[in-house]
Amino acid sequence: MMKKIINRAVWIASFLVAMVILVWANIERANSHSSDIQVKMLKTDYPSLISQESIQTHILETMPTVLGQSVRNIDLSKIEQEIYQNAQLSDVRTYLGIDGLLHIKVRPRKASLRIFDKKGHNLYLADGLVLMSNSLDYTQRIMVASGNIPHLNSEEKLQVLNGETELPQIYQSLYQLAEAIHEDEFLEALIDQIYVNKKGQVELTPKLGVKKIVFGEIEDIDRKLENLKAFYINGKNLVDWQKYKSINIKYDNQIVCSKK
Protein backbone atom coordinates (compact mmCIF):
# COMPACT_ATOMS: atom_id res chain seq x y z
CA MET A 1 0.00 0.00 0.00
CA MET A 2 2.79 2.41 0.97
CA LYS A 3 4.57 1.66 -2.30
CA LYS A 4 1.45 2.58 -4.28
CA ILE A 5 1.10 5.85 -2.34
CA ILE A 6 4.75 6.72 -3.00
CA ASN A 7 4.45 5.89 -6.72
CA ARG A 8 1.32 8.01 -7.02
CA ALA A 9 3.01 10.89 -5.19
CA VAL A 10 6.01 10.67 -7.51
CA TRP A 11 3.71 10.63 -10.55
CA ILE A 12 1.75 13.67 -9.31
CA ALA A 13 4.96 15.54 -8.50
CA SER A 14 6.38 14.77 -11.95
CA PHE A 15 3.16 15.96 -13.58
CA LEU A 16 3.20 19.21 -11.61
CA VAL A 17 6.86 19.83 -12.48
CA ALA A 18 6.09 19.24 -16.15
CA MET A 19 3.14 21.66 -15.99
CA VAL A 20 5.29 24.30 -14.30
CA ILE A 21 7.96 23.93 -16.99
CA LEU A 22 5.32 24.13 -19.73
CA VAL A 23 3.73 27.25 -18.24
CA TRP A 24 7.15 28.83 -17.76
CA ALA A 25 8.11 28.02 -21.33
CA ASN A 26 4.90 29.57 -22.66
CA ILE A 27 5.46 32.71 -20.58
CA GLU A 28 9.05 32.96 -21.80
CA ARG A 29 7.90 32.38 -25.38
CA ALA A 30 5.18 35.04 -25.10
CA ASN A 31 7.74 37.53 -23.82
CA SER A 32 10.37 36.64 -26.42
CA HIS A 33 10.96 38.40 -29.73
CA SER A 34 11.39 36.97 -33.19
CA SER A 35 15.07 36.48 -33.83
CA ASP A 36 15.47 35.20 -37.37
CA ILE A 37 13.74 33.46 -40.30
CA GLN A 38 14.50 29.93 -41.42
CA VAL A 39 13.02 28.78 -44.73
CA LYS A 40 12.97 25.08 -45.53
CA MET A 41 12.04 23.68 -48.94
CA LEU A 42 10.12 20.42 -48.64
CA LYS A 43 11.66 17.61 -50.69
CA THR A 44 10.13 16.78 -54.07
CA ASP A 45 11.15 14.69 -57.07
CA TYR A 46 11.37 17.82 -59.23
CA PRO A 47 13.44 21.03 -58.94
CA SER A 48 12.11 24.28 -57.52
CA LEU A 49 11.84 27.53 -59.47
CA ILE A 50 12.41 29.65 -56.38
CA SER A 51 15.15 29.65 -53.77
CA GLN A 52 14.85 29.69 -50.00
CA GLU A 53 16.84 32.92 -49.95
CA SER A 54 14.33 34.63 -52.25
CA ILE A 55 11.44 33.71 -49.97
CA GLN A 56 13.26 35.05 -46.93
CA THR A 57 14.21 38.25 -48.75
CA HIS A 58 10.61 38.75 -49.88
CA ILE A 59 9.28 38.47 -46.33
CA LEU A 60 11.85 40.92 -44.98
CA GLU A 61 11.08 43.41 -47.77
CA THR A 62 7.27 43.23 -47.51
CA MET A 63 7.08 42.76 -43.73
CA PRO A 64 10.23 44.47 -42.38
CA THR A 65 8.97 44.58 -38.78
CA VAL A 66 8.55 40.82 -38.52
CA LEU A 67 11.97 40.49 -36.88
CA GLY A 68 12.51 41.90 -33.45
CA GLN A 69 8.84 42.18 -32.50
CA SER A 70 7.12 40.24 -29.73
CA VAL A 71 6.09 36.77 -30.88
CA ARG A 72 2.61 37.36 -29.44
CA ASN A 73 2.10 40.08 -32.06
CA ILE A 74 3.23 38.03 -35.05
CA ASP A 75 0.35 37.02 -37.32
CA LEU A 76 1.44 33.71 -38.86
CA SER A 77 -1.62 33.49 -41.11
CA LYS A 78 -0.77 36.89 -42.62
CA ILE A 79 2.77 35.69 -43.33
CA GLU A 80 1.42 32.56 -45.01
CA GLN A 81 -0.98 34.60 -47.14
CA GLU A 82 1.88 36.83 -48.27
CA ILE A 83 3.99 33.83 -49.30
CA TYR A 84 1.02 32.11 -50.96
CA GLN A 85 0.82 34.97 -53.45
CA ASN A 86 3.81 33.40 -55.15
CA ALA A 87 2.27 30.86 -57.53
CA GLN A 88 5.56 28.94 -57.59
CA LEU A 89 4.63 27.50 -54.18
CA SER A 90 1.79 25.06 -53.54
CA ASP A 91 2.02 24.66 -49.76
CA VAL A 92 3.19 27.00 -46.97
CA ARG A 93 3.42 26.30 -43.24
CA THR A 94 4.76 28.63 -40.55
CA TYR A 95 5.40 28.31 -36.84
CA LEU A 96 7.47 29.98 -34.13
CA GLY A 97 10.12 28.18 -32.11
CA ILE A 98 10.69 28.76 -28.39
CA ASP A 99 13.85 30.69 -29.27
CA GLY A 100 11.86 33.13 -31.40
CA LEU A 101 12.97 31.58 -34.69
CA LEU A 102 10.32 31.91 -37.40
CA HIS A 103 10.14 28.63 -39.31
CA ILE A 104 8.70 28.65 -42.83
CA LYS A 105 8.21 25.36 -44.68
CA VAL A 106 7.23 25.53 -48.34
CA ARG A 107 6.54 23.08 -51.14
CA PRO A 108 7.46 24.20 -54.68
CA ARG A 109 4.95 23.74 -57.46
CA LYS A 110 5.86 21.44 -60.34
CA ALA A 111 6.13 23.08 -63.75
CA SER A 112 4.69 21.13 -66.68
CA LEU A 113 5.40 23.40 -69.64
CA ARG A 114 7.46 26.51 -70.35
CA ILE A 115 5.82 28.90 -72.79
CA PHE A 116 7.51 31.56 -74.94
CA ASP A 117 4.78 33.75 -76.40
CA LYS A 118 4.88 35.62 -79.71
CA LYS A 119 6.50 38.64 -78.01
CA GLY A 120 9.33 36.51 -76.64
CA HIS A 121 8.11 36.68 -73.03
CA ASN A 122 8.10 33.43 -71.11
CA LEU A 123 6.19 31.87 -68.25
CA TYR A 124 5.45 28.44 -66.84
CA LEU A 125 2.29 26.35 -66.64
CA ALA A 126 2.26 24.17 -63.55
CA ASP A 127 0.24 21.14 -62.51
CA GLY A 128 -3.42 22.01 -62.33
CA LEU A 129 -3.05 24.65 -65.07
CA VAL A 130 -1.56 27.17 -62.64
CA LEU A 131 0.17 30.14 -64.25
CA MET A 132 3.67 30.88 -62.92
CA SER A 133 5.82 33.86 -63.86
CA ASN A 134 9.37 33.41 -65.05
CA SER A 135 11.79 32.70 -62.21
CA LEU A 136 14.77 34.91 -61.41
CA ASP A 137 16.40 32.08 -59.45
CA TYR A 138 16.29 28.93 -61.55
CA THR A 139 15.07 27.47 -64.80
CA GLN A 140 13.70 23.99 -65.33
CA ARG A 141 14.73 21.80 -68.23
CA ILE A 142 11.21 20.93 -69.31
CA MET A 143 9.24 20.89 -72.53
CA VAL A 144 8.98 24.25 -74.27
CA ALA A 145 6.10 25.63 -76.34
CA SER A 146 6.69 28.64 -78.59
CA GLY A 147 5.45 30.40 -81.71
CA ASN A 148 2.11 32.08 -82.32
CA ILE A 149 0.98 32.07 -78.68
CA PRO A 150 -0.86 35.19 -77.45
CA HIS A 151 0.95 37.45 -75.00
CA LEU A 152 -0.53 38.02 -71.55
CA ASN A 153 0.21 41.38 -69.97
CA SER A 154 0.69 41.86 -66.22
CA GLU A 155 -2.97 42.70 -65.60
CA GLU A 156 -4.20 39.64 -67.52
CA LYS A 157 -1.78 37.39 -65.64
CA LEU A 158 -3.02 38.76 -62.32
CA GLN A 159 -6.64 38.19 -63.33
CA VAL A 160 -5.82 34.59 -64.20
CA LEU A 161 -3.95 34.04 -60.92
CA ASN A 162 -6.88 35.50 -58.95
CA GLY A 163 -9.37 33.30 -60.80
CA GLU A 164 -11.13 36.31 -62.34
CA THR A 165 -10.66 35.03 -65.88
CA GLU A 166 -9.56 31.84 -67.64
CA LEU A 167 -6.40 31.27 -69.58
CA PRO A 168 -6.77 31.57 -73.36
CA GLN A 169 -7.82 28.26 -74.89
CA ILE A 170 -4.50 27.79 -76.67
CA TYR A 171 -2.74 27.77 -73.28
CA GLN A 172 -5.14 25.15 -71.97
CA SER A 173 -4.75 23.00 -75.10
CA LEU A 174 -0.96 23.18 -75.00
CA TYR A 175 -1.03 22.14 -71.35
CA GLN A 176 -3.23 19.13 -72.20
CA LEU A 177 -0.85 18.11 -74.99
CA ALA A 178 2.21 18.48 -72.75
CA GLU A 179 0.57 16.44 -69.98
CA ALA A 180 -0.31 13.65 -72.43
CA ILE A 181 3.33 13.54 -73.57
CA HIS A 182 4.62 13.54 -69.97
CA GLU A 183 2.44 10.54 -69.13
CA ASP A 184 4.28 8.34 -71.65
CA GLU A 185 7.99 7.71 -70.99
CA PHE A 186 8.72 7.00 -74.65
CA LEU A 187 7.04 10.15 -75.92
CA GLU A 188 8.54 12.28 -73.16
CA ALA A 189 12.00 11.09 -74.20
CA LEU A 190 11.17 11.68 -77.88
CA ILE A 191 9.51 15.11 -77.96
CA ASP A 192 11.66 18.16 -77.29
CA GLN A 193 9.50 21.17 -78.20
CA ILE A 194 6.01 22.25 -79.27
CA TYR A 195 5.62 24.97 -81.89
CA VAL A 196 2.44 26.84 -82.90
CA ASN A 197 2.69 28.19 -86.46
CA LYS A 198 0.90 31.26 -87.88
CA LYS A 199 -2.14 29.20 -88.84
CA GLY A 200 -2.52 27.94 -85.28
CA GLN A 201 -1.37 24.47 -86.29
CA VAL A 202 0.96 22.59 -83.95
CA GLU A 203 4.31 21.09 -84.86
CA LEU A 204 6.40 18.89 -82.58
CA THR A 205 10.19 18.88 -82.61
CA PRO A 206 11.61 15.40 -81.89
CA LYS A 207 15.01 14.72 -80.36
CA LEU A 208 15.74 12.14 -83.05
CA GLY A 209 14.45 11.10 -86.44
CA VAL A 210 12.90 13.77 -88.64
CA LYS A 211 13.11 17.55 -88.22
CA LYS A 212 9.46 18.06 -87.33
CA ILE A 213 6.20 16.23 -86.68
CA VAL A 214 3.05 17.90 -88.00
CA PHE A 215 0.43 17.47 -85.27
CA GLY A 216 -2.23 19.84 -86.64
CA GLU A 217 -5.07 20.99 -84.41
CA ILE A 218 -4.75 20.10 -80.72
CA GLU A 219 -7.49 17.50 -80.82
CA ASP A 220 -7.63 13.70 -80.77
CA ILE A 221 -4.44 13.96 -78.73
CA ASP A 222 -4.33 10.37 -77.48
CA ARG A 223 -4.98 8.87 -80.92
CA LYS A 224 -2.35 10.97 -82.65
CA LEU A 225 0.28 10.29 -80.02
CA GLU A 226 -0.42 6.56 -80.03
CA ASN A 227 -0.03 6.49 -83.82
CA LEU A 228 3.22 8.44 -83.55
CA LYS A 229 4.61 6.12 -80.90
CA ALA A 230 3.67 3.00 -82.88
CA PHE A 231 5.25 4.45 -86.03
CA TYR A 232 8.56 5.16 -84.30
CA ILE A 233 8.69 1.78 -82.55
CA ASN A 234 7.61 -0.33 -85.53
CA GLY A 235 9.59 1.63 -88.09
CA LYS A 236 12.88 2.04 -86.24
CA ASN A 237 14.53 -0.74 -88.28
CA LEU A 238 12.61 -0.09 -91.50
CA VAL A 239 12.73 3.66 -92.00
CA ASP A 240 15.82 5.60 -93.03
CA TRP A 241 15.17 8.78 -91.05
CA GLN A 242 17.83 10.65 -93.01
CA LYS A 243 15.62 10.59 -96.13
CA TYR A 244 12.66 12.33 -94.51
CA LYS A 245 12.16 15.88 -93.28
CA SER A 246 8.76 15.53 -91.60
CA ILE A 247 6.05 13.20 -90.34
CA ASN A 248 2.41 14.24 -90.60
CA ILE A 249 0.07 12.66 -88.03
CA LYS A 250 -2.85 15.08 -88.25
CA TYR A 251 -4.92 12.88 -90.56
CA ASP A 252 -7.21 10.09 -89.33
CA ASN A 253 -5.62 6.64 -89.21
CA GLN A 254 -2.69 7.48 -91.45
CA ILE A 255 0.81 8.86 -91.20
CA VAL A 256 2.36 10.75 -94.11
CA CYS A 257 6.13 11.15 -94.43
CA SER A 258 7.68 13.87 -96.56
CA LYS A 259 11.07 13.32 -98.14
CA LYS A 260 13.82 15.93 -98.14
Q: Is residue 58 part of a domain?
A: yes
| φ, ψ dihedrals at 258, nearest 5° | -110, 130
Residue 93 belongs to domain with CATH number: 3.10.20.310
Residue-number span of the structural domain to which 55 is assigned:
36-108
Q: Which pLDDT score is estimated for 149?
A: 95
One domain, residues 128 and 233: yes
Of the residues 62, 86, 108, the one at which a domain ends: 108
Stretch 248-259: mean pLDDT: 81
| Within a domain: 23 | no
pLDDT digits (tens, 9 = 90+) for 151-168: 998 888 888 887 888 899
Its pTM stands at 0.77
Residues 120 and 68 in one domain: no
Give a three-class secondary structure readout of the chain. Answer: CHHHHHHHHHHHHHHHHHHHHHHHHHHHHHHCECCEEEEEECCCCCCCCCCHHHHHHHHHHHCHHHCCCEHHHCCHHHHHHHHHCCCCEEEEEEEECCCCEEEEEEEECCEEEEEECCCCCEEEEECCCEEEECCCCCCCCCCEEEECCCCCCHHHHHHHHCCCCCCCHHHHHHHHHHHHHHCCHHHHHHEEEEEECCCCCEEEEECCCCCEEEEECCCCHHHHHHHHHHHHHHHCCCCCHHHEEEEECCCCCCCEEEEC
Between 133 and 215, whose confidence is greater? 215
Structural domain count, the chain = 2
pLDDT digits (tens, 9 = 90+) for 66-76: 877 777 778 88
Residue 175 shares a structural domain with residue 216: yes
What pLDDT is stored for residue 107 in this prediction? 92
Tell me, yes or no, whether 24 lies in a domain. no
pLDDT recorded at residue 146: 96
**Spatial distance between the Cα atoms of 260 and 248, rounded to a whole number of angstroms:** 14
Last residue of one domain, picked from the residues 61, 81, 108:
108
